[in-house]
Amino acid sequence: MILIADSGSTKTDWTLLNPSDRDGNGVIATFHTQGITPIHQTPEQIRQIIGQELVQQLSSFPRARLIDSGVLETPLLSNLNIVFYGSGCTPVHAPHMRQLLMSVLSTQTVEVYSDLMGAARALCQQEEGIACILGTGANSCLYDGQAIVQNTPALGYILGDEGSGSVLGRMFMNAIFKNPDFADIRDEYLAKEKLTQADVIRKVYHEPMANRFLATTSLFIGEHLDNPLLQQLVVDNFRSFFQRNIKPYGRRDLPVSFVGSMAEHYPDQLEAAARAEGFTIGHVAKSPMEGLVAYHKK
């Protein structure tokens, strides 16, 4: 059996897969835990999440459901091949993450990859393509069907992350406070969120997780997409993503595919931006898990 993990900063989705199941999609069960990111969490914090949240769910999983799924081996934990895709699983951190998973889950069969590799496999499977993540942050890669061969550095929301929710929020804040055309939008937004300009400055410059605060503006923007000014703001954000992150690959012949909330919430604006920059959209998915299940079932 294969246990696939898709982990971000807030949550980790786990899918238990029987790759030998040829009659269905092979999914036996799904589990959820806190997010696991080796860059921001200590080894002990990660051990606690895996040990207290994941192991508890796996240990209490009904044996009858395993038998119904055609899996007879028991106990469950002794028969797992773990494939972990995670935010922050860089070449430096991936070996440490692998050792943690091996020690807590008592298995030697553990593979750890970046969330970008997860996106590439989910979106492109074993075909060449350009895979992107558009959520609170943004990232992209050129994928040859087996490996990531080129990656434009994301650089974070201060220096980069074009196309992301954080950068859309930054553009939104700049527009509502500097562009007179956005005055009505500014007044409605501040009243709805019970904020002042001083509050915004404090949250961005003096409180933690400014990127997440900025990304929350996407909820308001999404509710007001009938406003041409906000529509254009979203398109401009996506066009900047194509210009600065996708154009350097020099592969306009390849489809550009996406996972993440920004891509899912703004499909029309994403399509308009791609068309304006001369690119073709491939697949769009909120989560990579369905694609990862298909990839590992092959």
Collapsing DSSP to helix, strand or coil, 117 comes out as: helix
Average pLDDT of the segment spanning 94-110: 90
Q: Which CA distances in Å does 155 have to 122, 227, 273?
A: 23, 31, 21
Domains of the chain, start order: 2-108 (3.30.420.40), 129-285 (3.30.420.40)
In contact, 166 and 159? CB cutoff 8 Å: no
pLDDT of 70 > 90? The answer is no
Residue 131 — φ and ψ, nearest 5°?
A: -115, 140
Give me the helices (H) in the chain, please. 43-48, 55-59, 63-68, 94-105, 115-124, 156-159, 165-178, 183-193, 197-205, 210-215, 217-223, 228-241, 261-265, 267-277, 289-297
In contact, 82 and 94? CB cutoff 8 Å: no
- pLDDT at position 157, please? 86
Predicted confidence (pLDDT) per residue in 158-194, tens digit: 999 999 999 999 999 999 999 999 999 999 999 999 9
Residue 93, Ramachandran bin (φ over 0: left; ψ between -120 and 50: alpha; else beta): alpha
- Proportion of the chain above pLDDT 70, given as a percent: 94
Q: Which residue has the higher pLDDT, 298 or 293?
A: 293
Predicted confidence (pLDDT) per residue in 193-239, tens digit: 999 999 999 999 999 889 989 999 999 999 999 999 999 999 999 99
Query: What are the residues facing 13 on neighbouring strands?
Result: 6, 32
- The answer for residues whose C-beta is within 8 angstroms of residue 69's C-beta and 6 or more apart is 18, 21, 28
Residue 162 — φ and ψ, nearest 5°?
A: -55, 145
Residue 27 DSSP code: E
Q: Which residue has the higher pLDDT, 79 or 210?
A: 210
* Residue among 227, 211, 231, 200 nearest 167 (CA): 211
Average pLDDT of the segment spanning 97-109: 89
- Proportion of the chain above pLDDT 90, given as a percent: 72
Q: Which CA distances in Å does 113 have to 1, 12, 126, 133, 168?
A: 18, 14, 16, 15, 28
Write the single-letter amino acid at 99: Q
Residue 180 DSSP code: G
Residue 186: which H helix or E strand, with range? helix 183-193
- pLDDT at position 208, please? 86
- pLDDT at position 20, please? 76
Predicted confidence (pLDDT) per residue in 15-36, tens digit: 999 887 776 778 888 999 988 8
pLDDT of 6 > 90? The answer is yes
Would you place residue 41 in the very low, low, confident or very high pLDDT band (cuts 50, 70, 90)?
confident
With 0-12 CB in 10 A as exposed, 13-18 as middle and 19+ as buried, what is 172? buried
Average pLDDT of the segment spanning 225-254: 98
